[in-house]
Structure 1
Amino acid sequence: MPRRNYAKRILFLGRGWDEWDRRNEPAAKQQPAAKRSKTRRFGTALSFCALFFAGLALSAGAGNGVRALLDNGPSQQAGAGATGATGPTGATGASGAVDAQQAPLVQAQRLARAQVKQPQGLSVRPSAMPSAGRTVQPSSSSRWAVKRSTTRHAHRIAVVKTPAHHHGARTHSSGKKQPLDAEADLPGSTVWLYRAAPDPTPPASRLSIRFARELVADSRQAHVDWTLVLAVLQARGHSSRTPATQVATRALALKLATLGGRKNGWAAALSYSSDTSFADHVVALRHYYRAVGMASLVHGLLSQKRDLEDRVLNDSRLLIYPGGRNDVASHKVDVRVLATMLYLADTFHEVTVSCLISGHKLYARPGVISAHIYGRAVDVAALNGISIYGHQQPGGITEQGVRSLLMLPGSMLPAQIISLLGLGGPSFPLANHYDHIHVGF
């Protein structure tokens, strides 16, 4: 192994004074860069934007100027030629000469301007074109110029026509849509006029007070119901204010009493006329008179509307849903509907009303508002405790109810009696009335 040289180590240790400049100096602290102010940034951005828009405006102006020169150059030459042809210098003047190669271009531009000035739907006549004798065969450059000019003017015409088309379309679409009408434009249409209806019992058909008093007195004396005596008179066609004299009324009451009118009105009417249809009519009229009362027959139904409303609300035979009771209490239900409900209650002893106004939709069919909305209709769901649903067979409870409604007096006859059965007159079937009878006025 080589010897260690201690002399060199001692020599290097003695040179510490000569290496003072090689010592590590402390690192200088880095100072943060100064932040640029927002005002300076905004000013720089604004300057660049101004330069950009200035250049854009300059280029647009230069383009418009070049295009104006291209459009006006040939027309100015054509105007100069025309002036020379009519001026004192004549056609031989230097200013009046027109280049033969520019003639087709001038004619094409004139044709395009004439098409722009003319209204839509009109075209330039062929006579506006130059004659065959003056036509000069153009060169290839002239043909290209004519084609380019014609295309440019055709594009202008399309641009001019397009705004008018869109304006008309916008005007058409901005109009309000017409509301649904009651089929008024259809052939054989049905128009429903919902207006204030007159009293179902006009003054000409009301009973006189004197006859009413005599009728009640004679019927009580014969021990029969006055409604049976009046029903027989009305069924025989006596519908004036005084259907019969006092003597005839008393004799009829006594005869009905002897025929069993005290117990069975239908049997008494059948024995009186020997006609079942007459007896059915008499019984129906009797139920109606008992439902509305003598005061309604003398003074009219409208005068007794409040009394009929109270009777409907307090009649235990009428089963009405809460919304329907509120409709009656709010005086919204037509008096004919009130009388019909009381009539059915007197005929079948129990009636379930499923709909009056509340709970029914607005339209019965597209464009026709339902009569329920005006309080002029009632839906019957059950008669005498028997549901209409599942009992619309011939001879069932539904047919009995429809027949009873058809035998109401003429002024009280409904306009709509809808179920699954059609018995003629205002009665007709609809498939969606499988669970109720609709009675509308």
Structure 2
Amino acid sequence: MLDIKKMRQDPDFYKKKLGTRGVKPEEIDEVLDLDKKRRDLLQKTEALKAQRNEASEKIGEAKKKGENADEAIAQTRKLGADIKELDKKVDANDEKLHDLLAGIPNIPHDDVPVSLTEEGATELRKVGTIRKFDFEPKHHWDIGTNLGILDFDRAHKVSGARFVYYLGLGAQLERAVYNFMLDEHMKDGYTEVLPPYIVNAASMYGTGQYPKFRDSVYRVNGEDMTLIPTAEVPLTNYLRGEVIPTEELPVYVTALSPCFRSEAGAAGRDTRGLIRMHQFNKVEMVKYTKAEDSWDELEKMTANGENILKKLNIPYHVITLTTGDMSFTAAMTHDIELWMPAQNKYREVSSCSNCTDFQARRMHTQYRDENGNLQYVHTLNGSGLAVGRTVAAILENYQNEDGSVTIPNVLVPYMHGVTKITKENAVPFRNK
């Protein structure tokens, strides 16, 4: 959530910056009008309270002197009723102001490319050599289905579209990938966490999923409890409402979790394969930092994600998303996109974002600076990486003409020595 005081001081700055994210100037004006109305109402309330205090003193003085205090008592009651009505107006105004502010995205960093669409993203670097195949590379869903390690049809029977069964060495490959990721992140200083997979509405609000993206999640127990769309939610809310000791900053945490997304608005997009699922595994990275450190920490976090692909030897590039394409809470986002040979294009596998103090204000997560003053932390999050998409890239980049898939060297120990997935070893119960 944005700082209303700063918005009040420089409304033109906020209109200009937020205009690059599709926020209309009149939306800012409406927020500021409600803010002014709130301050006017509070001023009237304070004036009435002062009058009530004077009337109360008159009642006390009259009683001491044995004089009639009926007029002062009547005045006190009327003032009390007026104050009560004003308090109702303040509460109603505050609720509307809060709802409007909660729907306004973060201020983009000056270096974020300006565009209301995804077009115009800046490529920062391209890493790795794209493999030249001497045969037509297959899509990962065909590779996995032919090997028997991915079963979309039976998942559709059991759960519906955008679900999958991993079988045999396919399930083992998924496990190898996320265990490798977690081990690498721990080497980079992250503390591994096993978080809850169901969170309350306050947690969803804290990281910015609510109220804007309420229709993109799976809610349970009415509207209060939600299956997590990403481990960012429980990891970032872990210190919600707390003052973090300065000496503990920066805090690095990582977690593997299932992620549940209804994918509302994604109809017709990536209907096949592992790219856009209702349930998928992801290793998440989250940081809490001091304000002055957060931009350096964003670059480090991006490098942590890149490290996984470098060691897997999968080509990728890093782009900075446009103002209109980055997430609601982000001030800047670097996307890591890996190479998918069958699609002949890069596909996103990680978004690393600096949310500055936007989430911390919603969560009231702070620290004390060197002068002892309370400051909001900056929060960062990034996929390290989306596991299913990484598996898809392995299947496509490491496929062989005979339909087998070679295991990347760094994953062989996690695969208990298996170096290649073939039809003969893929799913043991089918090869008896």
Q: Which has the higher contact order (CA 8 A, sep 6+)?
A: 2
Query: Normalising by the residue count of structure 1, what TM-score does the alignment of the two structures yield?
Result: 0.24
Q: Rg larger in 1 or in 2?
A: 1
More helix by share: 1
TM-score by length of 2: 0.25
User: Quick check: which one's strand share is greater?
Assistant: 2
